[in-house]
Chains A and B, each alone.
Chain A
Amino acid sequence: MFDFVEPLFNALPLVFELENLIGMVVGVTAGMIVGSLPGLTATLAIAVLIPLTFSLQPLVALGMMAGIYNGAMYGGAVPAILLKIPGTPPSIVTTFDGYPMGQQGRAAYALKIACWSSAIGGVISAISLMLFAPPLVKLTLLFGPAEYFWVAMFGLSSIAILLGKDPVKGIIAACLGLLFGTVGSDVVTGHQRLTWDFKYLIDGIDLLVILTGLYAIPPAIQMLEKAVLKGFTAASLKLNPEDSILNNLSSFIPVWLRGGIIGIIVGILPATGGSMAAFISYNETKRVSKEPQTFGEGNPLGVAAAECGNNADNAAAMIPALVLGVPGSGVAAVILAGLLVHGLQPGPSLFRDTPDIVYGFMWQMFFTSILLIAFGGQIAIRLFAQVMRLPQTLLAPMILCLTFVGIYSLGNNMFEVWLMFGFGLFGYVLNRLNFPLAPIVLGLILGGMAEHNLRLSLLLSQGDWGSLFQNRLSQILIVLTLTILSMPLLGMIRRKIKKQSTSER
């Protein structure tokens, strides 16, 4: 049971070799920069990095990748808080409360919370990777197509909580997401759906195209509309003295623990990513809160839940990747490719043949999370927050340029760039009509997952719908889904009863 302890500590000295330390620091810094640029993701950065690491020692290369991974996942929070533009997909959730905080002049505090929460989520996740990697992998094997279908349904049902004040618009937005998710070639029949003979649509619309379009373009247009020539004053970016994380530690700790556990579980499940971890962590924190109405209005706990859940997904997503070769997220998939390039075949033999590298990588996930506080906390906040002092008329064209470069570099084609601009204009209209954007993204990610697994499950059972309800795990997931769906309903009934009892009195 504890036979992994010895190799784990044998690998520790290697991690502290100068080369490795430099690799991690470079990775974290590069990751934060890449993550904070909308449209550029950790996946992209690591993919570009892999060929450059050929000549490096495997552990140095992996250290850089670990740094980029953790750094980028935090970096995404910076534009989310300052500009309401998520730098990476999961930081959509950070915009919910992070941006209002920034508007209230508490941007620096929000950034500090994001940094600490990311680091703590990352550390919790890295510890889970060290402790649970072999035993937890058995858990993923329990998930077949039917179970994944319910995982997706569970995720989709969380939209019910996200809907907020205007459920009709929220449901329309979710349906739009589902619709965008159907574009592309049908895996089961080979037919093309909604591709209109555009070759670039056959693989479906890239999530990043929609995400960048919906989230980066509308704010840029709005900035240009207002044509504000002045930026924020330096005074409004100062850290308020009463806002200290240490003073509010007692309220943060439960949020971090919850977010950490949710992130780990979501991370281990393949095909889900940090976005889902952040969403669920945020929802749960809001659900148990005594004052749920303050979420979305700049509640610091909202930022903490989102960032902690998101970064707790990181190392956990590497658990199935290292042991089974099944990546738990897109970034984990690219790191897996990086391992292969260095001649390391994932699987049980990886732990047996090259323990120094596997366990060294686990330490690197751990230490790069801690590095976030040193570099992200002190240097990056001071540096990136100055972005806010730029006049918005200057910032808008910069954002447009960056999204342009980011999306072009995805596939080296202009079609996706125009598509992104199209989604940008669409997003601008939706913004103006007060439609929520998050349900679109959730519908897009989970709709495809639900559909594919439903069909796989029905193909495997030759059309027997009962196969969806047979397993214990499916049943647990169904109960969870129904619980979440009935939540708004229960709330409504409770409010009615309360009203009645007060009117009777």
Chain B
Amino acid sequence: MSFSTMRNLMLLSLVMVGVMSTPVLAEEYPERPIEVIVAFGPGGGTDVAARTIEPFIEKYLDEDLVIMNKPGAGGEVGFSLLAASNPDGYTMGFINLPAMFAYSYARETQYSRESFAPIANLVYDPGIFAVREGSQITTLEELIEYGKNNPGALPIGTSGSVGSSEHLAILQVESKTGAKFNHVPFGSTSTLRTALLGGHVPVAAFNLSEAVEYQNEGAIIILGVMDSQRSDTAPNVPTFKEVGIDLISGSSRGLAFPADVPPEIVAKVSEAVAKAMVDPEYVAKAEQAGVPLSYMGPEEYGEFLKTTDEGLAEAWKNDPWVK
């Protein structure tokens, strides 16, 4: 037997052991606490969401979850750590779309869509356009009309920075309708919302869950929601689709493993998340906090990752937002 055959045999047997041991591993999984990377600091929206669902996933997975805050670069540090972690099923993390993929256009990132094994989506919060009570513009049609007649004159404030989901949504509205607006990135939802309420910016683009309360109080008018159907929390608000703008955009939070985690383990965790998300106690907590839950299983979530990624690539091709 030559040396190379022997080496090949050894490799083969190693692979065999690997293949055979996987199902055993999955059966006994989880044997020890699982680390959950949260790519934002304590007290942030993602952190609060993670700590709210943590006990419920623990309950159905019958194992402890350990939340590790790894903030930095708008979440990129945590996403990179997750992508590079050991795919043994004992490290998972929260990923935020579309922000996670959008960073890859502005700078080089150490991950791509292929770096992750999606587990489940938890939260989906569609984007909206809103104006202040008493504004001359009261419908989406009027907004588009104004943007066509006065190209680039009307400022729309966004809660993110350049390349945020709201900014990309404005770009898409522009390319679909021919209207032109003046993008003003405020950098945070709270400052944007105060500026809107104070009349310092005429139109604002942010997320539905952060706007509903103010519409109910009569302080703002939500012009439209960027979703496939009307929201239960704001049933009187039309979708962009209804007025002829085919636009679905929002921010989502979900759980993912690094790629190459055995599918059995993914399935097991995904099942626990699914159970946690229909736990009446959790549902009540999420509803109280105004968190719009939206469960997607591994396959559906993987498809969602793909369409988000491709949508971004197309938007970048049409109009690169970082020059």
**Interface residues, chain A, with chain B CB atoms under 8 Å away:** 43-44, 46-48, 50-51, 54, 140-145, 185-192, 199-200, 202-203, 270-271, 320, 324-327, 333-334, 337, 340-345, 347-349, 410-413, 452, 456, 459-460, 462
Contacts and interface: CB of A to CB of B under 8 A. Distances in A.
A191 B161 CA distance: 11
Contacts of B54: 51
B153 A462 contact: yes
Given A185-B74, A190-B162, A199 B322 contact: no
A46 B197 CA distance: 29
B80 interface: yes
A327 B188 CA distance: 12
B193 interface: yes
Contact of B48 (A186, A189, A200, A340): A340
A270 B213 CA distance: 20
A343 B290 CA distance: 8
B198 A199 contact: no
Given A143-B198, A324-B194, A462-B153, A341 B72 contact: no
A202 B52 contact: no
Given A190-B321, A348-B217, A452-B187, A324 B162 contact: no
What secondary structure prevails in chain B residues at the interface with A? mixed
Contacts of B52: 341
Contacts of A145: 195, 200
B272 to A, nearest CB: 19
Contacts of A325: 190, 193
A202 B190 contact: no
A412 B190 contact: no
Nearest to A200: B72
Contacts of A142: 198
Contact of B190 (A51, A189, A327, A341): A327
B155 interface: yes
B69 A412 contact: yes
B72 A199 contact: yes
Contact of A411 (B71, B190, B193): B71
B68 interface: yes
A326 B42 CA distance: 18
Contact of A188 (B48, B162, B216): B162
A133 B323 CA distance: 45
B51 interface: yes
B59 interface: no
B214 interface: yes
B41 A51 contact: no
B289 interface: yes
8 contacts: A47-B47, A48-B42, A187-B185, A187-B187, A189-B162, A326-B191, A347-B214, A413-B72
Interface in B44-81: 44-45, 47-48, 51-52, 54-55, 68-74, 76-77, 80
Given A413-B70, A413-B72, A185 B43 contact: no
Contacts of B45: 337
Interface in B293-323: 321-323
A348 to B, nearest CB: 5
Contact of A203 (B74, B182, B200): B74
B217 A43 contact: no
Given A326-B190, A345-B290, A190 B163 contact: yes
Given A199-B76, A199-B80, A325-B190, 6 more contacts: A51-B51, A190-B106, A344-B288, A348-B217, A411-B72, A452-B187
Given A324-B194, A341-B48, A460-B184, A47 B162 contact: no
Interface string B103-117: 000110000000000
Interface in B182-227: 182-187, 190-191, 193-195, 197-201, 213-214, 216-217
Contact of B55 (A54, A190, A410): A54
Contacts of A344: 288
A140 B200 CA distance: 12
Contacts of A452: 187
A459 B106 contact: no
Contacts of A326: 190-191, 193-194
A43 B45 CA distance: 15
B285 interface: yes
Given A140-B194, A333-B43, A456 B71 contact: no
Contacts of B185: 187-188
A144 B217 contact: no
A297 to B, nearest CB: 40
A46 B42 CA distance: 9
**A54, A270, A460, most chain B CB atoms within 10 A:** A460
B181 to A, nearest CB: 12
A46 B43 contact: yes
B187 A460 contact: no
B200 A349 contact: no
A459 B43 contact: no
A411 B213 contact: no
Contacts of A47: 41-43, 47
A48 B214 CA distance: 29
A337 B48 contact: yes
Contacts of B217: 347-349
Given A199-B73, A337-B43, A411-B72, A189 B198 contact: no
Q: Nearest 9 CB-CB pairs, A to B?
A: A343-B288, A144-B200, A141-B198, A202-B73, A47-B42, A190-B162, A47-B43, A187-B161, A190-B322
A261 B322 CA distance: 45
A426 to B, nearest CB: 22
Contact of B191 (A189, A191, A271, A340): A271
Nearest to B213: A347
A349 B194 contact: no
A44 B71 CA distance: 14
A412 B81 CA distance: 12
Nearest to B54: A51
A334 B73 CA distance: 20
Contacts of B47: 47
A456 B194 contact: no
Nearest to A144: B200
B216 A349 contact: yes
Interface in B29-50: 41-45, 47-48
B73 A203 contact: yes
Nearest to B76: A199
A214 B122 CA distance: 42
B197 A50 contact: no
Contacts of B194: 140-141, 143, 270, 320, 324, 326
Nearest to B71: A411
Contact of A456 (B41, B72, B74, B186): B186
A144 B195 contact: yes
A270 B194 CA distance: 10
Nearest to B37: A412
Nearest to B67: A51
**B194, B195, B216, B322, most chain A CB atoms within 10 A:** B194
A478 B43 CA distance: 36
Nearest to A55: B55
Interface in B129-184: 152-153, 155, 161-163, 182-184
Contacts of B289: 340-341, 343, 345
